[in-house]
């Protein structure tokens, strides 16, 4: 999760009437807009009205040239989540920050997120003990025609039957002795035809 440290200088036991709001921002500029927002909050002395400012992300495993890499990918490109107390000053500060489009809500009126929704989006569900599993980034879909490029079935052709994003494994149906046979492979062992 890519997030700025809480802006508040003093930690209070409660959130001080702060609620979570979702901001529409320019895509691919989420980090700079968040940093700009944090800077403006400090300049205006409004730290007491703001909590966390978060860019929701997830970790994804990518394999390039046979090497696995873990990268962070934005869950909601073009959106920031802001914990704040909504009043005229905070509303104006957020809306006048360069790159911020608007709050999500109807008729221009910001609508706070439900606590359960925000916890789910932030990956902080109750009872969640272990870290979320990494998701493997693949460019395949069920039904794609592929050729196996490595392993015991090298140069066989088949159709993808199932994909497991969490483990990076795919099931490919290949023809062996005239019968369709499912074979479990790593996603990097095949290439699209």
Q: Where are the domains positioned within the chain?
A: 2-135, 138-192
CATH number (3.30.70.260, 2.30.30.30, 2.70.98.50, 3.40.605.10) of 138-192 reads 2.30.30.30
Predicted local confidence at residue 133, as pLDDT? 58
Q: How far apart are CA 108 and CA 101, in angstroms?
A: 11
Q: Is the pLDDT of residue 5 over 60?
A: no
117 close to 81: Cβ distance less than 8 angstroms: no
36 close to 43: Cβ distance less than 8 angstroms: no
Q: Is the pLDDT of residue 113 over 90?
A: no
Predicted local confidence at residue 104, as pLDDT? 81
Predicted local confidence at residue 33, as pLDDT? 92
108 SS3 class: coil
Share of the chain above pLDDT 70, in %: 80
pTM across the whole model: 0.59
In the predicted model, what is the mean pLDDT of residues 46-73? 81
Predicted local confidence at residue 2, as pLDDT? 57
Indicate the pLDDT class of residue 126, thresholds 50, 70 and 90.
Answer: very low
CATH topology of domain 2-135: Alpha-Beta Plaits (3.30.70)
**Alpha carbon separation from 152 to 69, 145, 147, 160, 164 (Å, rounded):** 25, 18, 13, 17, 21
In the predicted model, what is the mean pLDDT of residues 121-146? 67
Q: How far apart are CA 165 and CA 109, in angstroms?
A: 38
Q: C-alpha 172: how far from its chain's center? A: 28
Give the highest mean pLDDT range of 74-83, 112-121, 129-138. Answer: 74-83
In the predicted model, what is the mean pLDDT of residues 7-30? 71
């Amino acid at each position: 999760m890519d997030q700025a440290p809480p802006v508040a200088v003093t930690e209070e036991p409660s959130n001080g009437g702060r609620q979570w709001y979702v901001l529409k921002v320019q895509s691919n500029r989420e980090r700079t807009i968040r940093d700009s927002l944090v800077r403006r909050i400090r300049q205006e002395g409004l730290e007491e009205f703001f909590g966390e400012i978060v860019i929701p992300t997830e970790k994804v495993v990518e394999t390039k040239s046979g090497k696995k890499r873990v990268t962070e990918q934005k869950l909601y490109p073009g959106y920031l989540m802001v914990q704040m107390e909504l009043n005229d000053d905070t509303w104006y500060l957020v809306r006048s920050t360069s790159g911020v489009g608007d709050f999500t809500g109807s008729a221009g009126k910001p609508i706070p997120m439900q606590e359960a929704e925000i916890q789910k989006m932030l990956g902080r569900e109750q009872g969640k003990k272990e870290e979320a599993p990494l998701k493997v980034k693949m460019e395949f879909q069920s039904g794609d025609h592929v050729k196996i490029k490595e392993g015991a079935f090298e140069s066989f052709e088949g159709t993808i039957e199932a994909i497991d994003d969490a483990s990076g494994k795919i099931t490919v149906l290949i023809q062996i002795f005239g019968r369709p046979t499912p074979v479990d492979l790593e996603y990097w062992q095949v290439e699209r035809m």
